A and B are shown apart, each in its own frame.
Chain A
Amino acid sequence: MNSPFFKTTAILFFLVFMVSPCAFSGEVEVLHWWTSGGEAKSVSVLKDLLEKEGHTWQDMAVAGGAGANAMTVLKSRAVSGNPPTAAQVKGPQIQQWGDEGVLTNLDDVAMAANWDKLLPSVVADVMKYKGHYVAVPVNVHKINWMWVNPEVFKKSGAKIPTTWAEFETAAKKIKAAGFIPVGWGGQNWQEATVWESIVLGVGGAAFYRKALIDADPDALGSATMVKCFDTLRMVLGYIDKDAPGRDWNLATSMVIQGKAGMQFMGDWAKGEFKAAGKNFGTDYIAMPVPETSSGYLFNVDSFIMFNVKDAGAKEAQKAMARLIMEPKFQEVFNVNKGSIPCRLGMSRNPFDFPAIYSFDTFEATAAAGTLLPSMAHEMAVYPAIRGAMFDVVTSFCNSSMSSQKAAKNLATEVKSAI
């Protein structure tokens, strides 16, 4: 056992397996699921910025399943005691990772750049675990958008609606003119996206907070919720029958091609219109979902930072956190991705119109207290509760369930998921 051969092999093995992750100081390993064209380009901006400061970036992109695959990888790495430096995790799941005691404290970075002032407090709260920053926000998507093809409205003689009553009259006309009023994607998250916008509009911000953020069973089973489901049922009368399972971008292309009049979808739908060479204002219009013009449902992507031992990696991690919040990254990233910066008070020059409108409402609603986290996009409640809400909403959309029963089911299912 003491032969020189054994020693060398042992040392070699040690070098290869133990030392190498720490040997290059200042490396960040980043787990994310931004793999499609525009997204990957956006991420590489951060990579370049970090490399300029002398750190190395190890990309760990896990595609597929809207992040579900990446989360599985993250869990198995965390269980085996070898988490990456940073991972794309958002919303209340940040709290769950905080409970596991694996996150690092970013308060010094946040203090130095004064994040508390730069971020709306409702966004900052999501990034904190027990009052300490453990995550960095990257972008803001607005959920409660309605994408309209004005041509279809003109041909049908309908007026673009701002209330659900107006929506019904307009939808009737569009249907009578032979178009599909609403381009609908029958997947649970899309159904929930429309539903939560309806809850915000019909129930108001306070009700939304109670029902979809606090998950209060009384609010979920209330008469107001029954009214929300009634509205959803009314909207469902204006979709085509092939909607089940349809992807969101196919629903968007129905609007682009003038087969459907409108679609309720977050601001990423803009990318589809742009890719099709359509001009904002003439070929398509973006409006808030009826009755939600004074509210803003947000989806903020963020990176959580794990406890790392290596000093170099720690430094690179802090640099990454700092760079993400700096105006330069916020601007370039969000122009590429079609979202807006989560940092308040940034220049609007490089952004296009829907984004500028999103800027204005973001800041206005942050001040008014109607800036609210989106339930459908994992910002408001734990995944278990979100899943229970999804189940009820999707089974409501795909059956003839009554609104009363849906509200009652919602309360019991959510109670049992807590």
Chain B
Amino acid sequence: MTSITHTTSVPKRSLFDHIENLLPKIVLAPTLVAGLVFVYGFILWTAVLSFTKSRLLPKYEFVGLYQYLKLFTNDRWWVASKNLLIFGSLFVVICILLGLLLAILLDQRIRIEGAIRTIYLYPMALSFIVTGTAWKWILNPSLGFERLIRQLGFENFSFDWLVNSDMSIYTVVIAGVWQSSGFVMALFLAGLRGIDDTIIKAAQVDGASLPRIYWRIIIPSLRPVFFSAVIILSHIAIKSFDLVMVLTRGGPGYSSDLPATFMYAFAFTRSRLAFGAASAMVMFGAVMAVIIPYLYSELRVKRNE
């Protein structure tokens, strides 16, 4: 059938139709090419480099899985991966819980809601560099919080996570959550405002309690918002680099290193380009392993509805 319409329509087409037909393609072509080259092309290049012996500059002497084997025997890599797991899961979960709670509280038609909303959303306007610097001072035992509490008379108070190898990664979580939970709150608030009032009223008529309405009706209907929030937060978590660089510099030692800072250190400051590329590919694989099933399940649900 398509071939029939095709043959009949071609002679009738004017130049204008052609242009009209081609214009979107022409307009989109540069973006597409740029995307192909700078995203997928470079992913491919990184993949190629990860199988080479490159040190200072790219060199195409292939050595198979050599760099990956070294990576998996590197202590620091495992510290970085474990940290990403801790940071990523805590950051996403706490941001969503806190964001949802704030949104629900704000949704109770309170006074000066606009002002409060702005206050919570404001950290999002800062860059992670600013957040990191501020929290570095707040969490520094001899400058910030610990000192303040001690000056208030609690001499034995101790809060030294920033300088404690076992706890330093949690300070990154604190700063990250402070920055991003307001944004998640705004997402949920928009979602809450979009829920049809009549459903809630119907539930109230049926005698459902308020927590029950939230638990059974409102929160489930926010599913698309959860979806966006998880995607946005997890990509912030995985790419986070600046926050760690400023807040802890990966320290004490390398106890709060993340894969992104690991990759930077090895590829750029230590002239182990191929090794860094291998770590980047493992990161890429891990992201795909999380994101693809999630995207797949979420998008399939939508189609079935």
For residue B56, CB closer than 8 A to chain A, the reply is yes
A78 vs B162: C-alpha distance when bound (angstroms): 40
Q: How large is the interface on A (under 10, 10 to 19, 20 to 34, 35 or more residues)?
A: 35 or more
User: Cβ of B270 and Cβ of A394 under 8 Å apart?
Assistant: no
Q: B163: which of A97, A242, A382 is its contact (CB, 8 Å)?
A: A242
- On whether the beta carbons of A394 and B251 are closer than 8 Å, the reply is yes
| A141 contacts the other chain (CB 8 A) | no
Q: CA–CA, A386 to B270, complex, Å?
A: 8
Shortest CB–CB separation between residue B50 and chain A, in angstroms? 16
Q: A94 vs B128: C-alpha distance in the bound complex, in angstroms?
A: 36
CA distance A72 to B270 in the complex (A): 11
Q: Is A383 an interface residue (CB 8 A)?
A: yes
Looking at the assembled complex, report how far the CB atom of B144 sits from the nearest CB atom of chain A, in whole angstroms. 11
A245 touches B163 (CB 8 A): yes
> What is the chain B residue whose CB lies nearest that of A412?
B73
Q: Do most interface residues of chain A lie in helix, strand or loop, or is the interface mixed? A: helix
Query: Among B56, B74, B162, B254, which residue has its beta carbon within 8 angstroms of that of A394?
Result: B254
Given contacts A242-B163, A243-B163, A394-B254, contact A75 B56 (CB under 8 A): yes
Q: Which of A40-48, A318-326, A395-403 contacts B (4 or more CB under 8 A)?
A: A395-403
A249: shortest Cβ distance to chain B, in Å? 15
* Cβ–Cβ < 8 Å partners of B269 in chain A: 65, 68, 71, 383, 387
Q: Report the minimum CB–CB distance from B167 to chain A (whole Å).
A: 11
Could you tell me if B251 and A398 are in contact, using CB atoms closer than 8 angstroms? yes
Determine the distance from Cα of A186 to Cα of B141 in the docked complex, in whole angstroms: 15
- Which listed residue, B57, B141, B253, B268, touches A399 by the CB 8 Å rule? B253
Q: Does B242 contact A (CB under 8 A)?
A: no
B261 CB → nearest A CB, Å = 12
Q: Which residues of A contact B279 (CB under 8 A)?
A: none
Residue among B141, B162, B254 making CB contact with A395, cutoff 8 Å: B254
Q: Which residue of B lies closest to A66 (CB)?
A: B269
Q: Which residues of A contact B271 (CB under 8 A)?
A: 93, 96, 382-384
Chain A residues 112 to 128 lying within 8 A of chain B, measured CB to CB, are none
Complex interface: chain A residues within 8 A of B254 (CB): 188, 391, 394-395
Q: Is the CB of A397 within 8 A of B253?
A: yes
Task: Please determine whether A399 and B165 come into contact, CB atoms closer than 8 angstroms.
Answer: yes
Report whether B142 and A242 are in contact in the complex, using a CB–CB cutoff of 8 Å.
Answer: yes
CA distance A382 to B136 in the complex (A): 32
B224 at the interface (CB under 8 A from A): no
Q: Which residues of B contact A395 (CB under 8 A)?
A: 75-76, 253-255
A 66-81 to B, binary, CB cutoff 8 A, 1 in contact else 0: 0010011001001100
A107: B residues at CB distance < 8 A: none
Task: Across the interface, name the chain B residue whose C-beta is closest to A399.
Answer: B165
Complex-state Cα separation, A79 to B252, whole angstroms: 35
Point out the residues of chain B lying under 8 angstroms from A409, CB to CB.
75
**Which of the residues A79, A242, A382, A391 comes within 8 Å of B57, measured between beta carbons?**
A79
A387 touches B251 (CB 8 A): no
Cβ-based interface call for B117 (8 A): no
Interface flags, B101-142, vs A, CB<8A=1, else 0: 000000000000000000000000000000000001000111
Q: Report whether B251 and A244 are in contact in the complex, using a CB–CB cutoff of 8 Å.
A: yes
B87 to chain A, nearest CB (A): 18
Residues in chain A near residue B268, CB distance under 8 A: 68, 71-72
Contact present for B160 and A416 (CB under 8 Å): no
B165 to chain A, nearest CB (A): 5
A243: B residues at CB distance < 8 A: 163
Residues of A with C-beta under 8 A to B136: 245
Task: Give the residues from 81 to 99 in chain A that come closer than 8 angstroms, CB to CB, to chain B.
Answer: 93, 96-97, 99
Chain A, Cβ-Cβ closest to B79 = A395
**Pairwise interchain contact B160-A241, C-beta atoms closer than 8 A:** yes
Q: Which of B74, B160, B251, B266 contacts A245 (CB 8 A)?
A: B251
* B contact residues, range: 20 to 34
Q: How far is B56's CA from A39's CA once the two chains are assembled, in angstroms?
A: 27
Q: Across the interface, which residues of B come within 8 angstroms of A186, CB to CB?
A: 163, 251-252
Q: A79-B57, A384-B55, A384-B272 are in contact. Are A187 and B265 (CB under 8 A)?
A: no
In whole angstroms, how far apart are the Cα atoms of A399 and B165 in the complex? Answer: 7
State which of A97, A242, A384 has its C-beta within 8 Å of the C-beta of B270: A384
| Cα separation A71 to B284 with both chains bound (whole Å) | 25
Asked if B64 is an interface residue, CB under 8 A from chain A, the answer is: no
B58 within 8 A of A: yes
C-alpha spacing A97/B275, complex, angstroms? 19
Query: Interface digits, B49-77 against A, CB 8 Å rule (1 contact, 0 not)?
Result: 00000011110000000000010011110
Task: List B contacts of A417 (CB < 8 A).
Answer: 272
State which residues 240-275 of B face A: CB under 8 Å: 248-249, 251-255, 265-266, 268-272, 275
Closest A residue, CB atoms, query B253: A398
Chain A residues with CB under 8 A of B255: 395, 398-399
Give CA–CA (A244, B140) in the complex, Å.
Answer: 10
Taking the nearest CB of chain A, how far is it from the CB of B99, in angstroms? 30
Cα distance A384–B252 in the bound complex, in angstroms: 21
Quick one: which of A65, A68, A244, A391 contacts B76, CB cutoff 8 A?
A: A391
Chain B contacts to A: CB under 8 angstroms: 55-58, 70, 73-76, 136, 140-142, 160, 162-163, 165, 248-249, 251-255, 265-266, 268-272, 275
Extra A-B contacts (18), CB below 8 Å, given A241-B141, A399-B165: A68-B268, A78-B57, A93-B56, A99-B56, A186-B163, A186-B251, A242-B163, A243-B163, A244-B163, A244-B251, A245-B136, A245-B252, A387-B265, A387-B270, A394-B253, A395-B75, A395-B253, A398-B252
| A residues in contact (CB < 8 Å) with B | 65, 68, 71-72, 75, 78-79, 93, 96-97, 99-100, 186-188, 240-245, 382-384, 386-387, 391, 394-395, 397-399, 409, 413, 416-417
Q: Report 23 cross-chain contacts, Cβ distance below 8 Å, ordered by A residue.
A: A71-B268, A79-B58, A96-B55, A96-B56, A96-B271, A186-B163, A187-B249, A188-B251, A188-B254, A240-B142, A241-B141, A241-B163, A242-B141, A242-B142, A242-B163, A244-B253, A245-B248, A383-B271, A383-B272, A395-B253, A399-B165, A409-B75, A416-B70
Query: Sorted from nearest, which 10 A-B pairs have the closest CB atoms?
Result: A398-B253, A244-B252, A398-B252, A387-B270, A244-B163, A394-B253, A383-B271, A395-B253, A383-B270, A96-B56
